[in-house]
Chains A and B, each alone.
Chain A
C-alpha cells in the first residue's frame, strides 16, 4: 500500500462528520485520560485518609500539646507548659522506664525465640505444617484475650502456682504478677508468647529464600551445621531481622491492651506504660493537653529509634 492513499483515507476519515469515527477518537482520548487519571482516583481515598487520619491528627495532637486543653480541646497556644509538667511527672518517667524494660526484653526474646523455632522447623521435619500453625496461632488472638488468659494462668490463687501446690509441690511460688518488682516481666512473657510465632513465620520465609547451593558449597568445604548457621544463614537473614524489629518495636511502643487486660497497669503503677499514661490523662482525667504532650513524646521516641535504623538499613541496601 502506498502512503498517499492511506494518508488521504485518514484525512477523509478524520474529516468525516459521521458519528462512529468521532466516538472512536473521543474513546481513545478518554482511554488515555483513564490511564492517567484512574490510578490517581483509585489511590486518592487512601491518600486522603492517611493524610487526614495520620498526618492531620499528628499535627492536631501537636497543636493540642501546646495548649491548656482540659476535658475538651482548646486552641489557644500557651507554649511548652504541658511538656514541663510532663517532664516533672514521676509517673511519666516510671512509665518510660517500664517501656524500656518491656520493649527491650520483648523485642530481644521475640526475635530469639522466633529464630530458634524457625531454625528447628527448617530441619525438614515431619508435620511441619501442623507445627507451624500451632506456633503461629497465638498471633490470631487479640492482645485482650492473651492478657486475660495469662492473667488467670499467672495468678497465684488460680493458675500455675495453685496447680503446682495441688500436685504437692507446696514450696513452689510464682507470684510475679502480684509482685510490683516483677510484674513487668509477666507482660514480657505474655507478649513474647503472642508474637514469637509471627516472628518465626517471618524467619521461616527468610530461611526458605536462601539458596541451597550456598549451603551445599559450605558443606563441601567441610563447615559443620552450627557454623553454616552462624556464618551464612543468619547473616543472610539481615533484612528479616530488620522487618521483624520494626514490627516488634511498634507493637512494644503502642502496647496498651495487653497491659490493660493483664495487670491494668498494676500492682499500683508497676506496669504503667506511656500509652496508658496518655490515655488516662487525656481521656479520663481531663488533662487533654498533657495527654497530647505525652503522645508527642511517644511519637518522638518511636521516630528516634526507627528513623536512624531505617536510614542506615536503606543506605546499606543501596550500596550493596
Chain B
C-alpha cells in the first residue's frame, strides 16, 4: 500500500490497464487458495483457464485444509520473506489487518474501469476496501442463517417446520418422541458459533445482532436478550445427539440426508452435500431461514486480496482482479460452490430455488438493513476477538456454565483485541 500510493506507480498501473495488449508481456499468476475439495477445485480451474486466455501462466498454490488456517500460516511466511503471491484468499476484517501491514495492492484503477461501485452492494464494497481504496475482490456470498430440513422426517413426526424459536421447541419435541434426532450438529467450535449466531439473529433481530456482535456494544451484550440467546442455545443442544462432539459438518448434513435427523443449522455450502447425494431442493430437502430470521441475512463473503509486488507491473494483478469479478467466473464459481454471486443483477436462470431465494433476500435485506456480517465466519470481528467469543460459545455448549456466566464471559471476550 505504501508503495502503491506513489504517482509513478499509479501511472504504471494505469498504463498496464489501458495498454494491456501493447505491453503484453505475460506474467505469472500465483494464487493462494484453499479450494481443494471437488466443486471448489473445479472453480479454481475455471479461473486458471480465464487467466490463460489472457496469456498468463498459472502457478497453483493450493494449501489444503478447508478453513484456510494452514493457508494463512504459509502466506505469512511468504509475505515476511518479501515474496508474496499475486493474490490470496482472505476475507472480512482480516483484509483490514493485512491492510495495516502495508502489503496490499491498490485496485482503484481497475475498480473504476469496471464500475465496481455500482456492481457491488455498499455493504460488500466496504469489506473490500482499506481506507477507501479497493484492495480485495469478492467471489461469492454465502448465506449462513439457513436451516436444512428433511421434510420426510417432519411429516413422520407430525411436526411443522418452525419459523420461530418457540415453534422450534414444539417441533423438536415431537421429532424426538418419534425417535429421530431433531438437530444434526457437529460439535466443533465454529459450528457451535454458527448455530449461536443464527439464534442471536432470530431471538434478538438484526438490530440487536448488529449492535452486539458487529459493534461489540457492551450494553447490548449485557441485555437480557443475550441471556435468552444462550438459553435457546442450551435448548438446541438438548435436541442434538450425544455423539456430536468433534463431528464434521458434512457428516451432520449426511444425517439429515439419510433421514436420521430432521434439521441442521448451517450455511449454504451444505446444499452441495444434498445435491451431490442426488436430492432435489423443495422436494427431498427444504432450505428455510433459521427460525425468526426470514427477514435477515448473515453473509459470509469469500474474497481475494491482491498483494503489491516487487515488480511495478500491475497487469497481472489487474487482470486477475477483473477476471474474478467477471460475470462468467462469478456464475460458474457459484454454481459449483452453492453460494450466490457477489455481483448484483446476475441472471438467475441457472441457479436453483435455494440460490434464488438467497439472491432475492440478499437484495431485499441490503435495503432493509437486515443484511449483517456473520461473525462465526470471520466477517464481523477482528480475529482475536472472534476467537475469544467462539471460545466462550463453544465452552458454554460443552459445559454446565449458566447463561448468566456466559454473558459475563462474552462481554469480557468482546473486549479482546
Q: Which of A71, A178, A268, A283 has the most CB of B within 10 A?
A: A268
Partner among A268, A270, A284 whose Cβ is within 8 Å of the Cβ of B383: A284
Q: How far is the CA of A90 from the CA of B391 in the complex (A)?
A: 10
Question: Residue-by-residue, is A258-296 near B (CB-CB < 8 Å gives 1, otherwise 0)?
Answer: 000001101111100000000011011111000000000
Q: Which residue of B lies closest to A262 (CB)?
A: B246
Interface residue B258 (Cβ < 8 Å from any Cβ of A): no
Interface residue A97 (Cβ < 8 Å from any Cβ of B): no
Interface residue A31 (Cβ < 8 Å from any Cβ of B): no
Chain A residues in 8 Å Cβ range of B241: 157
> B242 near A283 (CB under 8 angstroms)?
no
Interface residue A156 (Cβ < 8 Å from any Cβ of B): yes
Q: How far is the CA of A178 from the CA of B394 in the complex (A)?
A: 13
Interface residue A257 (Cβ < 8 Å from any Cβ of B): no
Chain B residues in 8 Å Cβ range of A156: 242-243
Q: How far is the CA of A231 from the CA of B411 in the complex (A)?
A: 59
Chain A residues in 8 Å Cβ range of B394: 266, 268-269
> B243 near A268 (CB under 8 angstroms)?
no
Interface residue B397 (Cβ < 8 Å from any Cβ of A): yes
> B243 near A155 (CB under 8 angstroms)?
yes
Interface residue B399 (Cβ < 8 Å from any Cβ of A): yes
Partner among A73, A178, A269, A287 whose Cβ is within 8 Å of the Cβ of B242: A178
Q: How far is the CB of A11 from chain B (nearest CB, A)?
A: 63
Q: How far is the CB of A238 from chain B (nearest CB, A)?
A: 41
Interface residue B97 (Cβ < 8 Å from any Cβ of A): yes
Q: How far is the CB of A312 from chain B (nearest CB, A)?
A: 39
> A264 near B246 (CB under 8 angstroms)?
yes
Chain A residues in 8 Å Cβ range of B101: 71-72
> B383 near A178 (CB under 8 angstroms)?
no
Chain B residues in 8 Å Cβ range of A73: 80
> B398 near A266 (CB under 8 angstroms)?
yes
Q: How far is the CA of A263 from the CA of B245 in the complex (A)?
A: 8
Q: How far is the CA of A285 from the CA of B242 in the complex (A)?
A: 30
> B384 near A285 (CB under 8 angstroms)?
yes
Chain A residues in 8 Å Cβ range of B384: 281, 285-287
Task: Scan residues 74-95 of chain B and give those whose CB is less than 8 A from a CB of chain A.
Answer: 76, 79-80, 94
> A180 near B72 (CB under 8 angstroms)?
no
Q: How far is the CB of A176 from chain B (nearest CB, A)?
A: 11
Q: How far is the CA of A178 from the CA of B241 in the complex (A)?
A: 11
Interface size on B, residues (CB 8 A): 33
Q: How far is the CA of A232 from the CA of B358 in the complex (A)?
A: 77
> B245 near A177 (CB under 8 angstroms)?
yes
Partner among A90, A266, A283, A285 whose Cβ is within 8 Å of the Cβ of B246: A266
- Give the bracket for the number of chain A residues in contact with chain B: 20 to 34
Chain B residues in 8 Å Cβ range of A178: 187, 242-246
Q: Which of B94, B394, B396 has the most CB of A within 10 A?
A: B394
Q: How far is the CA of A177 from the CA of B387 in the complex (A)?
A: 23
Task: Scan residues 392-407 of chain B and give those whose CB is less than 8 A from a CB of chain A.
Answer: 394-399
Q: How far is the CB of A46 from chain B (nearest CB, A)?
A: 24
Q: How far is the CA of A270 from the CA of B398 in the complex (A)?
A: 8
Chain A residues in 8 Å Cβ range of B21: none
Q: Which residue of A lies closest to B395 (CB)?
A: A268
Q: How far is the CB of A276 from chain B (nearest CB, A)?
A: 12
> B387 near A264 (CB under 8 angstroms)?
no
Q: How far is the CA of A188 from the CA of B155 in the complex (A)?
A: 45
Chain A residues in 8 Å Cβ range of B246: 151, 155, 177-178, 263-264, 266-267
Q: How far is the CB of B244 from chain A (nearest CB, A)?
A: 7
Q: Given A71-B98, A73-B80, A180 and B399 touching (CB < 8 A)?
A: yes
Q: Which of B76, B100, B246, B397 has the most CB of A within 10 A?
A: B246
B-contacting residues of A (Cβ < 8 Å)? 70-73, 90-91, 151, 155-158, 175, 177-178, 180, 183, 263-264, 266-270, 280-281, 283-287
A-contacting residues of B (Cβ < 8 Å)? 69, 72-73, 76, 79-80, 94, 97-98, 100-101, 187-189, 241-246, 382-384, 386-387, 391, 394-399, 409
Q: What are 11 A-B contacts defined by CB distance under 8 Å?
A: A70-B97, A72-B80, A178-B244, A264-B246, A267-B187, A268-B394, A283-B72, A285-B384, A286-B382, A286-B383, A286-B384
A-B contact sample (14 more), CB < 8 A, given A180-B398, A281-B387: A70-B100, A71-B76, A155-B243, A156-B243, A178-B187, A178-B244, A180-B399, A263-B245, A266-B188, A266-B398, A267-B187, A267-B397, A280-B387, A284-B72
